[in-house]
Structures are given as C-alpha cells and as structure tokens.
Structure 1
Amino acid sequence: MNNTDQQLENLKKENGKLLELAVLNSTVLDQLSALIKRILACEKIGDILEISITYIQNLSRDSSCLLLLEENGKITVSNRSPGLTGFDINNLLAGSSLLSRLLAEKKETVTVVSEEDAENLLGSGLKINRIICFPLAIPYTIKYFGSLLIFNMPAENIEIYLYFIRIIAQIIITAINNHRVTESLAQSLKSLQEYQSRLLQEEKMATIGQLAAGIAHEINNPIAFIKSNLISLEKYSKMFISLIKEYENVVTYARKTLEGGNPLLFLERLKIIENLRKEDDIDWLFEDIKPLLNDSIEGTVRIKEIVENLKNFSHVDTGKISMVNLNQNIQSTLRIIYNELKYKADLKEEYGELPLLACHAQQLSQVFLNVFTNAIQSIESKGEISIKTRCTGTDINIIISDTGCGIPHDIQSRIFEPFFTTKPVGKGTGLGLHICYTIIKEHKGTISVQSEPGKGSAFTVVLPLDNGLSAG
C-alpha cells in the first residue's frame, strides 16, 4: 500500500470516528435535554441527585458513581451506584489514602490508579483503574458541598464524557445550593415567626400591665357588693333561724294544748312570733332576699367574664384559625378595658351584620385592644370613642374613632413603623401599632389612619373575607 492509499485509509478511519462522535454527541445531548426536563420537574433534592447519578451511570455501563456531601466538616455518602456497597466512608478517608488526597485537593482531576492502589480501593471488591473527581463548589466562593467521584470511566471519548459530566455537576451544585438556601430561608422564616410571636406576647403582657389597676377595680366592684350582700344574707339567716325556732316552739305548744295543756302558753308563743316578724320586718326581708341573690349571681358572672376575657386575651397564641364574629370579638375586648374607658370617654357602638371570618381571633383582639388603648390615652379629660362595623360583601370594615388629641401630620406616615412612639420613656414600646399592622397584613387586610391634630383620629381596618385562611 502506497502513501496515498495509507492516507485515504487514515481519513476513512478519522471520518468514521468523527461520525461516531457526532452520533454520540447527538445521543448524549438528547439524554441531557431529557435529564434537565426531569430535574426541573423535581421538588425534592434527593430525587434530583438520584436522577443525576443514574444518568452518569448510563453514560458508560462500565463506570460507577459516588456522590459525597460535606456539611459542617462531616462527609457523608449521599448517592452511589448499585455496585458500590459495603464500605465505611470514614475508614476510607482516614490517613493518607489516595481517595482522601483527591478529595482534599478540591479540584477536577482524572487519576489513573496504580496497581498498588487498584485492588479494593473502596473495600468493596471492585478493582479501580481510573478515578474522575469533580468538586461540587460554586466558583469564586468558599461554598463547597462535596465531590462527585466516577470510577473506571473508559478512556475512549473521555473528553466528551467529561464535558457532559461537568454540566451535570453544575446541575447538582445548583440543586444542592438551592436546597440549602431554601432550608436556610425556611429556618430564618421560622425564627422570625417565633420572634414575632414573642413580641406579640410581650406586647400583650405590657398592655395587661398598663390595664392591671383598671381590671382590678372592675373585679373589686362586684366583689364589694357581693361581700355586702353576703353580710346582709348572713344577718337575715340569723333572723330566719330565730323565727324558725319560735315556729318550732309554737308547734310544740300547739301539740301540748291539743293534749290538754295550757292554751295561754300557745298564745304567748304566737305573740312572740308576731313581735319577731314586726321587729325584723320579715316581709321586707322576703322581698330583699331575691334581689340580693340576683345581684350576687350577676356579680359572679361579671367577674367570670372579666377573668375569661383576660385569660383568652393573654393566652399564648397557638396559631389556630377559627371562624369568628368580629362584633363579639370587639365587645369581648371592650370588657377588658371598660374600667379605663368609662372614665375617659362615652362609647358609641354601631355594629353592622357581619359574616363569620376565618382568622386568628387572639391576634385580632390584640389589634383592637391596642387601638382602643391608644384612643383612651389620647383623650385628656372627657371625650368620645365610637366603633362602627359593616360588611361590603367582599370585606369587613371596622372604624374606631376618638375625639382625642390627634396625630401630627408629619409623623402620621411613621406610626406603623417598629419602635416608633411619641410617648414618654417607659410609657410605650413603640411596637403596638407595628404589631397591629403586621397582624392585619397577615390577614391580607389593611389598617390606615386619618387624623386631625386637636380633633381626633380614626383607624380603619379592612379585612377581606377571602383571605386564604381556613379554620381547622
């Protein structure tokens, strides 16, 4: 064969090889496209990693894959090919083994394994002749998630395989990073929710502390007249006991008279009873007992309501959503602060017919209490607080207005900011209205204020009926 024939033969071989590579490229590209579609449809990180490892395994049936993840300095086996079982990764990485050296370098390497290291490199009976190591790291950052190891990838067409495996490695890196960022964001959100819950509870306790004297007065009033009624009833009971004893004597002397005894003794006892009835005004006592008992029962009911409302308000919010009548919710809140309110303002109530609303009842009670408290504190001597509720068909509107000192125009836009307060040190945390704003926002609603300095303020709460919450 002359040189020309030899060159033609070589060209045919090269063309054949290029054709094979073109077919391989086309096949791998199709598979890669299908892989990306499957990965995009996955929601779980575990599914993404499993699909990726399976794809790499299918590139070359003779190769095996091992995905090692590192978190907080600890390396764990995330995914592996079916043939790679029966080994302890911690034992394999101990000391200065070839595997530990490759992982420590944290860079892409293709290593041909020496005969010395070939046998039982993984302790699984699998003979290793080549290791490809891909570090799972975001370029130009310190984020390192682990390594992708591929064993016994054939040398033929290895550059093409490496190109596609690099793409898959980037997919794995992105998936792991997104998963960890999502986990971190979820944890941050949970921490923020817990912090908000603590702030809400602290604000509740601060509000209760401010209202404590008034609440104590509200409880002491019924206790005082219940005590007075009980003293009267005790006195009445002694009178009735004396009268009953005399009636018993009359019965005794009546029996003796019937048996032939002296009738004068019987008449004397009747006279004593008549005198007792006149002296103690028994007929009036009979009339007075019923109102005393009714007032006492009413007082105990009042105390029970105050304690129940206070307990419901101060209880730590469990996050439970329930169907609530907001008119009743507002009225229950008013009972907590009634003693503070009655000395400062006349109350005008105009309740419209409202449907039940799915909501956090305790949180909305906190909103109404904060607005009522601010209204009371804004009134210097005697004023008026009015409440108006109505349903528009899609929303529930609550308007709470007062004739207090009003809010200066230049700070009205800031009153819902956290820690913003115009009250003296120790008189307010600056969290009340911010918490109101946050709670209403979580219910997909709005809270706004219209105020005229020297004339008063009106807070409007709008709560949509369709807020995405459902009672459970």
Structure 2
Amino acid sequence: MIDDELIGEAHLRHIVESAMDAIITINAEQRIVLFNPAAQQMFRCAATDALGQPIDRFIPQRFRPAHQGHIETFGHTRVTNRRMGMLGTVTGLRADGDEFPAEASISQFDTSTGKFFTVILRDITQRKRAEAALQESEARFKAFMDNSPTIAFLKDTQGHYVYVNRPFEMHLNKPAAHVLGKSVFEVWPSDIAHKLHDHDAKTLVADTTIEHVEVIPDAKGELRQWLVLKFPFRDSSGTRYVGGVGLDITHRKDLEEQLRQTERLAELGTLASGMAHEIGTPMNVILGRAEFLMRKTQEEQTKKGLETIVAQVERITKLMNQLLTFARRRPSERRAMDLRTTVETCLEILSERLARHHVKVDTTIPLDLPPVHADQDQMSQVFLNLFINAVHAMPEGGQLRIAAEPTGNHVTVTVADTGHGIPAEYLTKIFTPFFTTKEVGKGTGLGLTVVHGILQEHGGSITVESQKDQGTAFTLMLPVSPSQ
C-alpha cells in the first residue's frame, strides 16, 4: 500500500510543476530552493542556474533594497500569505536583462530546517500592453472628438447626458461637470428641453438615424440653429442610448434667407419694371394733358380739379419709383473676411441647383489668401448673384470657375462660366439698372447693378469680358484687410 504522505507530496509536486504561474521558494537567506518550469520560462533561466542563487538576481537593481526590507518585514509578521494583487505591480528581471511587470502573492511557512517564503508570480506584460493600448485609444478618441468641428453627446433613454465633447462645452457654454448625469430638463429651458426630448424619443422609436434642426442657445445666450443627426446606440451590455452630432448652420440658414429675399426682390423688380412700363406711358399722357388744360382754363374750380389730377399722377409716379428702389442696402459692416469660406458657403447653398443644371465647379483659392476688408453678407449677395447668373447662362450645363489671388493691396477674384456669352454691344450696359439680356419677365436688370454698387462701396471694382458662345468672366477687385 502506497503511503498517503508520499501521495500528497507527489500531488503537490505535480501542481507546482504544471502551474501556469511562476512559483519560487526562497529560504531565510533569500536564496532560491524551488524554481518551477513556469518560473524558468518567465525568467528565461534554467532551474539548475537559478537554484541556490539569491532572489535579487531576478529583481532590478533599483528595487533590491526595498525588496529585502519587505521580505524581512513580512517574515516578522504573523501573516502567513498575501493574495495576488495585494502587493501591487512588481517588476521582474529576466536572465537576458529584460524587465517585465508582474502580479505577486507571497506566503511563509516554518519547518524544522528554518523559515521559507514562496512567491507566486503572474506575468502581466500583455495585460499592461492592452491597458496602454486602450488608454492610447481612449486618448486618441477624446482628442478626435474634442477637435471635431461638431458638437457630440450621448444620452440615456431618460434624457440624462452621459458624455459631451469639448466643442459642446465651448459652443454651448455647458461644462461637462454641470451637464453629465443631468437630464435635458435640468440643462435647458423648458420649451427647448421638451423639443430635444421629443426628438430623442422619435429617434429611439424609429431605431434609426434621424436628422433634426434644433434651436439651442450658444455661449452668449443667442439662439442658434443646429443640424443634428441623432442615432440609437447600444453598449456591450445592451443598454440603449441616444447619440448625436450637431453642426451650427445658423449662418447658412441666414444666407438661404438672403437668397430667398434676393429672389423675392427680383420678383418685385420684375413686377415693378412691368408696372412702370405699362403704367408710365398712360400716366405721362394724363399728366401732359392735365398740365395743358391747366394752362388753358380760366375757371378756378376746373383748375383746382386739374391740380388734383397732376398731384395724384405725381404720387403714382413716386410710388413706382419707391417700388423700383425698394431693396436699398443697409450700411455695410466691413471687417476682415475669409473670402474662401464665403465662396464655399455660397456654393454649398446653390449645390442642388448646380447639380440639377449639370454645372461643374472648379475652385482655385489659396489657403494663405489674405483676408479682404468687406461686409460678409453683402459679399455673399455678390457671389450668389454672379453664380446664379452663371447657372442661367448655362442651361445645358457647363463649368463654373472661381479663382482668387493677391494683387498688391487687393485680392483679385475671377468668376467665369462656359455659357452662351454676352454680345459685345451689351457689355457696356450690363451694369445699367434694369438692363437685362434675359427674356421679358425672366430678369429685372437689377442684379448686376446691385453687385456693381456693393463693390464700389467697398472701394473695389468689377469688370467683365465675354465672347458669344464662349462664356463670360467677371473680375472683381477687393481691398485687403488693413490688419494684414
């Protein structure tokens, strides 16, 4: 019959030999008496080379004094073991000089031959690399989101914010510390919060991405329009959230409104031009006959009646003139303006129209182009007029080319199309009010007049070159901002 003690020793030896963690036993002199296969693999050292050696051999020089102190202190306590992780992360030294992080547990026991300490080590190099990679990934993602031109947020299904990026904090003046964990009703005024919550609910119900235009106050408290894409989101546990990114489109909306106003003004100009033509001639006849009769009549009562007729005809004429000059521009507010951004914004507003008419756009504007001294809204009106005219000139499609370059104290901008061109005899007249090459009822003759007036007010200029069936090119000169 096999002795139970021998069976126990064999079983223990098998456990030590097959363990995946390194197991090292040292005596009271801190010399190695047990070095299992996992320790040999971890430290890249054979047991024959490790047994009898001081444990310091496998500890970096800088940690040896502290390690010796820890072992001595541990030996004097009544504690028999400390679990894995209680010692924190320790640093091991492989036989080839490579250092590595490890978790350790330690135990002590007494025998008839003296005190012994057993250390179990687990190499956590891969875990540390994974943690470092995760931290790097999180830092990269945070930097990406914090440098994004869009605001970004994440909310739970109850409307509580669980994440906001840096642009959210900056543009909306809502620090993360004052937002996270709070619902939209705690962060925003009631009317705004209800709309945001309704949009969140619709997104969750639809279970798909939905585009919303939301009105939210900015850092100054001014209401801004944001194009927000909201989407449902589930984390690894299946918990649902509403994610969203938003872009401030207030300026674009303002430009769209200016475009609508320009088109309404054009319609008004067409109406006023037609009325002036249709009403002007008979009014002149009535005025002329009334004045003639006033000179002939001697009757005071008749003369008074004719004077009333003259006054009313002059009133009608004045009203017609007021209609024709209805869209007088406000005083310009000039400052340093990025021409490239203004051109790109105008092209974006007209993108659908350009695509519908098969007009390809070629833009050449240097990134280092100096800013011009101009009113952004008025310059948007200039480019919208020129671009729309170019589209009209290319009913079957073509190319719109926009280029800019510095020229001394000015910036030269060229807007050219490949349309039907302007006859030579008309080139000297195109900036004249109410002159148009378009069919009757399709143009007011005011657009280029307005463009010419704006550029003159800015201390700039506009010229035109055109060849029939070859296209038209407008050249604009704008003063560089004094700050340059």
TM-score normalised by L of structure 1 = 0.36
TM-score normalised by L of structure 2 = 0.35
| Higher RCO, Cα 8 Å, sep 6+ | 1
Higher strand proportion, which one? 2
Higher helix proportion, which one? 1
